[in-house]
Amino acid sequence: MKALVLSGGSGTRLRPVSHSLPKQLVPLANQPLLAHVLRGVRDLGITEVGMVVPAGTAQIEKTLGDGSRHGVTITYLPQDAPRGLAHAVAIARVYLDDEDFLLHLGDNLLPDGLGDPAAEFRRRRAAAHLLVQKVTDPRPYGVVELDRIGRVTRLVEKPRRPRSDLALVGACFLTPVVHQAIEAIRPGPRGELELTDAVQWLVDQGVVVHASEYAGYWRDIADSDDVLAANRHLLAGVEPVRDGDVDPFSVLGPRVRVEHGARVVRSRVDGPAIIGAGSVIDGSHLGPYTSIGPGCVVRDSDVSSTVVLDEARICGVRRLVDSLVGRAVTIERGDPRRGCRVVCGDDARVEIPG
């Protein structure tokens, strides 16, 4: 079995960070989201990965390389524009050959693994095995209706009036018959080839499609709130490590990881938290659920429940909470007599205490 990881899309709801960084590379617990995806693939014993990426961009390939650091071999498959999940499967058809495959969305976090669904797929051998989870508002998702024994009877992409609360999780197991279904469908109202339409075509032809409810943690990473929630979930299981330097005037709580070359000086760090390689925490307080990326400086500041990307600087900030700080960003205290000075890019969001 191979895996097909879909890593296209523009990540508009994660701007301005996604202007310069594909959202699939946004770090969670200081590892790119795609690294977590590849770990789940590898844990299934799958080592051949086709990765659909936007044509003309190289950031994902530069970051992941050939996949060997993650225990897999990656073949990159360029897609000229976001044309739907079914289109991404279609351009991968030659790579997939006539094998069963795992389809995994590159912006979905499933850290509890896919072992049980994979075993069920092998046991039941349906044409497709979907994963679903109950959600409060299914309208932003593909929605699945099932019969009493778990067979799919209907799928609708982003329905205005959902008839089910079962949302499609961003991973499923497919057999080669899905290629026939994709050839038979046409673009939907959004102008894209929808995978839900392809699977519905199989159902309409009388082909058996199964689904099972996914019991693990699932987060579709669409915006900054999703990043922060997923980061909190992963940090809750972090193991304490002190590979960097912590001076005798600093206090580290449980579940704090200080990576190689990092320095903690006259500071308090409440876990769970991660301080990236080469970063400096000086005269500061890091509250729970904070990830500091590599090469950052946090000085004379109080930061909690925040994700800070590489090379950022936070200096003299009284209280920074629930924030996503991009690469090489500088946040610093200015002269209070002059008011607030802000330099922001497109789609930035700034909240200033009154």
Long-range contacts of 76-80 (CB under 8 A, 24+ apart): 76/51, 77/50, 77/51, 77/52, 77/53, 78/52, 78/53, 78/54, 79/8, 79/52, 79/53, 79/54, 79/55, 80/55
Question: What are the pLDDT tens digits along the chain (354 aa)?
Answer: 999 999 877 667 778 776 677 889 989 999 999 999 999 999 999 999 999 998 777 889 999 999 999 999 999 999 887 788 999 999 999 999 999 999 999 999 999 999 999 999 999 889 999 999 999 998 988 899 988 888 899 998 888 898 899 999 999 999 999 999 999 998 877 777 889 899 999 999 999 999 999 999 999 998 888 999 999 999 999 999 999 999 999 999 999 999 999 999 999 999 899 999 999 999 999 999 999 999 999 999 999 999 999 999 898 888 889 888 888 888 887 766 665 565 556 566 666 664
Domains in the chain (CATH in brackets) are 2-233 (3.90.550.10), 239-338 (2.160.10.10)
Partners of residue 330 on adjacent β-strands: 313
Phi and psi angles of residue 20, each rounded to the nearest 5 degrees, phi first:
-120, -5
Q: Work out the angle at residue 275's Cα, subtended by the Cα atoms of residues 263 and 288, and round it to the nearest 5 degrees.
A: 120
User: Cα 193 vs. chain centroid, distance in angstroms?
Assistant: 22
